[in-house]
Amino acid sequence: MTERTRRPKIGLVAGGLGAYWPQFPELLPTLRRSAAYVSERIAGFDADIVDVGFISDAKEGAVAADELREADCDLIVGYLTTYLTASMLLPIAQRSGAPVLLINLQPTKAMDHATVDTGQWLAYCGACPLPEMANTFTRAGIEFRSVSGYLADERAWTRIGAWISAASVRRVLRGGRHGLMGHLYPGMYDVSTDLTMVSAQFGGHVEVLEFDDLRVRVDEVTDDQVAAKVAEAESVFDVDPSVNRQDLEWGAKVSVGLDRLVADFDLDSLAYYHRGLAGEQHERLGAGMILGASLLTARGIPAAGEYELRTSLAMLIMDILGGGGSFTELQALDFERGHVEMGHDGPAHLAISAKRPLLRGLGVYHGKRGWGVSVEFDVAHGPVTLLGIGQDREGKYSMIGSEGEVVEGPLMRIGNTTSRVDFGRDPGEWTDEWSASGVAHHWALGVGHRAAELRAVAGLLGIPFTGV
């Protein structure tokens, strides 16, 4: 999916009660100026905005509802500039097919009470209809979300920005195409995913692929293409002396084939695994995936090993939010330093590495057949967020997140991505709570503290969020 299509389409409608306009001639021009400011700020969030203007009664609200329905928005922002009736916004929420965010942003932090008249007070009255909208939406069975503040309130705009970022995720998932290639790693019950539930709860399409879809494309790769991909790898990675040249060239060849596969099937993400046997072609393909999958992930097309479809989706969500998102599991607990060590021996998000990533040669991948090159690094030090996709006994998905900080400390040098994460608490207690949340044993690790954005994403998707 191109970067352009990740831009959410945000509908905007501002409104107030038309009965006020003849009573207070200066009020409507004041409110329109505020609405123009809001429109400009929303457009500044790297979003495409559909501004249907200012409504003053239920009839105009119905017209706006039809315009916004035809625009197929990812989020509709209803700006409560002053009091207005619920009949003006309910049709918009009912007909648009998009979630609605109500915002109440008064002109300044507070009124000048010594000089304010009724017309000036009404410009501060956006809070007045908010409970009315909330009650009406609740009775109509419509999800309710709101942000209150004042026009220059950066705290409020941060919250609004989180909803707009969430709309970006919703847009990508609604139209996303997710590759699932190979078969489940034997015995990993937590990884097993019902494809229908992905489309039902997240939207999009899961493309079921065979490793033969990759094999035929790898067979067509030329020596010149392999050389170019090796040069690309050498420009991105430090290459450890343990890397066998033939293994590097094989990983490069598989990487070119992966690029073709992703392009041919128009994929936004990929999850894969194949066990293979006795060094045959499919085993070699599965073992040669890490280089190409890491390069894809760095391009914003996350690839997860071990058939981890829900984790490739979590990686995609984190990447859309700007946090990267690297394939991760628990590795060890360091009770001396109070750290949780986590990472994986598979694809990594190169864009969030603390330093230049390393390619290391492995004679064996733990628990898997094959040999070749693997990626080694730790995630950039500083604030990080974990995101896992859980599933309950009814099949309902949940998003599970935890904020911590990647810190300095000794790391393994075995061809794994490994990061030391400090959650500010006993690592054993954190591990117990994280495991009890319903998360599977893989997740995405991304940079930045993003729990607020993830809560907004879960809200727009209509699934629970659990913070640990």
* pLDDT tens readout for residues 186-213: 899 988 999 999 999 999 999 999 999 9
365 close to 288: Cβ distance less than 8 angstroms: no
Alpha-carbon separation of residue 371 from 226, 246, 290, 345 (angstroms): 19, 11, 11, 12
**pLDDT tens across 369-426, in order?**
556 788 888 888 999 999 999 999 999 999 999 999 999 998 877 777 889 999 999 9
Do 214 and 334 belong together in one domain?
yes
Tell whether 169 and 181 lie within a shared domain. Answer: no
How far is the first Cα of the chain from the last one, in angstroms, to the nearest whole number? 31
The count of domains in the chain is 2
Tens of pLDDT, residue by residue over 131-183, are 999 999 999 999 889 999 999 999 999 999 999 999 999 999 999 999 999 99
CB 127 within 8 A of CB 84: no
The rounded percent of the chain whose pLDDT value lies above 90 is 78
Is the per-residue pLDDT at 365 higher than 80?
no
Q: Is the same domain home to 132 and 250?
A: no
Measured between alpha carbons, how far is residue 22 from residues 17, 25, 133 in Å?
Answer: 11, 6, 25
The pair of structure tokens assigned to 257 is: 């084939």
Q: Which long-range contacts (CB under 8 A, 24 or more apart) does 427-435 make?
A: 427/333, 427/334, 427/335, 427/338, 427/339, 427/340, 428/333, 428/335, 430/340, 430/402, 430/468, 431/330, 431/333, 431/340, 433/468, 434/386, 434/400, 434/402, 434/468
Q: In this model, does residue 233 exceed pLDDT 90?
A: yes
131 and 204 share one domain = no
d(CA 54, CA 28): 10
Task: Kindly give, in sequence order, each residue whose CB lies less than 8 Å from that of residue 398, ignoring residues fewer than 6 positions away.
Answer: 389, 390, 391, 392, 438, 458, 463, 464, 465, 466
* Token duo for residue 385: 């967020």
Residue 2 has pLDDT above 50, yes or no: no
Instruction: Please tell me whether residues 462 and 381 are part of one structural domain.
Output: yes
Same domain, 249 and 328: yes
Residue 26: which domain range? 4-174
CATH value at residue 366: 3.20.14
174, 200, 232: which is the final residue of a domain? 174
- Rounded Cα–Cα distance for residues 39 and 358 (Å): 46
